[in-house]
Structures are given as structure tokens and as C-alpha cells.
Structure 1
Amino acid sequence: MPTSYAIAIGSNRSGRHGRPEAEVRAAMAALGALGQVTATAPIFDTAPLGPSSRRFANSAALLETSLDPLALLAALKQIERAFGRRRGRRWGARVIDLDIVLWSGGAWTQRDLVIPHPAFRIRRFVLDPLVAIAPSWRDPRTGHSTRQLAVRAHKVDRRPAHP
């Protein structure tokens, strides 16, 4: 039976599909090979996190698939490699970044994968796109909706996010 996942999508480096916004759109299309993409958020222009100086194009998608979390993680890593993503410096420039943020199955904890994504609750570049497509999805650990988490994150971080 299919389950739903919220996938965060980000890029801050041009690749074979073009500028970062085009990479994000191409990644959304690539997710369709893994199941049914039921919603996509607008693309937000966001400030870099960490040492990177390049702005990011960030979005999110809801995906229904029969893949279990580890199989989906492997498929997402394969898409990243196909886009030219190489492992490197944390928070550095990247052609594409695909992260499982939430799962309709609740929480998942294994060495290689933790759902919900450990840092999503404070990251506006993840929450703002999620609110656009899944405002009532709840964090299984806190019980808060993505909308509630975004309001909290906005109070802490006053920088504007530009869709």
C-alpha cells in the first residue's frame, strides 16, 4: 500500500538542467519515477546556510509511493548522483539535495535515516515550502503542524523568504 512522504528539494549550483531553479523543477519531475507526486510547492529563493555563499532554490514535494523509507532514501541518492551531486563539504554548493522530511508512517530511526528530518523544525527553507503544500501535516515527535512550526521559525528568524 502506498505511503506519503514530504521531500525537501534544494539547489544552489547550476547543473545539466540549468540554473538551480531548473534543477529543482527537474528533480520534481524525476520524483515521478518513484511514485505519484501529489503536490509541489513554489520555488523559494533562500539565503545560504553555513559557509556557502550561493543562494538556494528550495521547494518541496509530496510523494506517494510503495517504497519503504530506506528504499526511498536509496532512490533519492541515485537521483542526486544522476544530477551530478557528489559528496563533499557539509552545506557546500550542490546541484541537488533531496531529503525525506516527513512520512505518513510516523517516525523512523536507523543509523542512515531519521524521519522526521532532525533539523526541519527550525529551517524556514524547508518549512515555508512544506506549508504551501502540507500545512496540516504533523510532526510525529512534537505533534505540531508544519504551519505551527513555520510560525515559530519565523519568530526566531526575521529574514524574509522570497517565493
Structure 2
Amino acid sequence: MNKVFLLLGANLGSPAQQLAKALIEIESQIGKIEACSSLYKSEAWGVTDQPVFLNQVALISTDLSPLDVLDNIQAIENNLGRVRLSKWGARVIDIDILYFNHDRIQHDRLIVPHPYLPDRRFVLVPLSEIAPSFTHPELGITTLDLLTQCEDNLEVHLYKPNDNDAIQID
């Protein structure tokens, strides 16, 4: 059984609902959800002139190959209304493969571990919640060590749906 860490993100529509729908589809089409982080609110990374994101990391057990997982998550994104207009732009759903077991994958469609993982607090914070001691297969250091060394200074906060600044974007 393969162990896959996925990052889910959304900043358009109703992001919390989109992430919940994505998890249902992931469990239906990819495999069993073994662990799931809390939701985290973060500023946009890369293209910053857009709404804040909600992000979450899930650990999935699957019999699928890496490319089959990729095909399934892209189908889930499309079914939930994802339109790819620009790199790092606003989106109703985004699902990325962070790790696939401890494998290193260099394919024209997929690079694992995710190449930007060490540089993004919005990935490392939820990942550290469910896999603090998971070791990066190329860098040989744990998630918590990656988070400690991360130079990204964008704020990442636990999302509370009843906050005054709860996300609801039309």
C-alpha cells in the first residue's frame, strides 16, 4: 500500500466546503484517508494580489501509481470547477502531491517530493501537524526541521470558521 501526502488549497467560492468536497472525492477515487490536518488560513504565495487561501494536508493510503494519483486528483479538481488560468493564481481547488512514499520521482508530468515544499510555510505548517517526523527523501531532514529552517515569512494561522474574517468569496 502506497502512502501519499496531498496538499489541498482553495481561495475562491467557499474554500472550506471545497476542501471538504475534495476529501470526499479523494477517499472515493484514490484511497483511504489515514490522517488529515486542520484547516489553515494563509496569504497567497507567488502571486500575492488575490484572496487568502485555506490549506490542508492529508495522508492517503492507495494502491494507485503516482501518475494514476495525479490523473485522479486532476479529474477531482476539474469536477469541482478548477479552471487553470495562471500559475499560482486564485482557484476553487488545488491538490498537489507532496510525497509518494519516500520515492523520488522525476517525470515530465510529476516531480516528487514537491519541489517547493521546503520553501512554503502554508505546506509545512499543516504537514507538521500530521507528520512532524516524516523525513524528506532528498534533504534527509524532518518536517519540523524544514519548518524551522523555512525562510518564507507569510503568515499561516489555524482557521476558525466563526472568526469575523471567515472566508467567503464570490
Report whether the alignment pairs 1:23 with 2:18: yes
For structure 2, the 5+ residue unaligned runs are 159-170
TM-score by length of 2: 0.88
Instruction: Quote the offset at 1:48 in angstroms.
Output: 0.8
Q: Determine if the alignment matches structure 1 residue 117 to structure 2 residue 114.
A: yes
Measured in 2, the distance between the counterparts of 1:29 and 1:158 equals: 32
| Secondary structure, counterpart of 2:157 in structure 1 | coil
* 1:50 pairs with 2:49: no
- 2:153 and 2:91 map into 1 onto residues whose CA distance is 25
Equivalent pairs counted in the alignment come to 156
Q: How big is the alpha-carbon RMSD for the aligned residues of Structure 1 and Structure 2?
A: 1.1
Tell me if structure 2 keeps the 8 A contact 1:28–1:40: no
CA distance in 2, matches of 1:157, 1:84: 29
Q: Aligned match of 2:78 in 55, 77, 81? A: 81
Q: Identity over the aligned pairs, expressed in percent? A: 33
Q: Which consecutive unaligned segments of at least 5 residues does structure 1 have?
A: none
Whether 2:49 is the aligned partner of 1:60: answer no
Contact 1:106 1:140 in 2 (8 A): yes
**Aligned position for 2:37:** 41
Corresponding residue for 2:89? 92
Shift of 1:103: 1.4
Aligned partner of 2:144: which letter? R
Amino acid at match of 2:26: L
> Displacement of 1:105 after TM fit?
4.0
- Tell me the TM-score normalised to structure 1 length: 0.92
Per-residue deviation at 1:50?
Answer: 2.5
Query: How far did 1:44 drift?
Result: 0.3
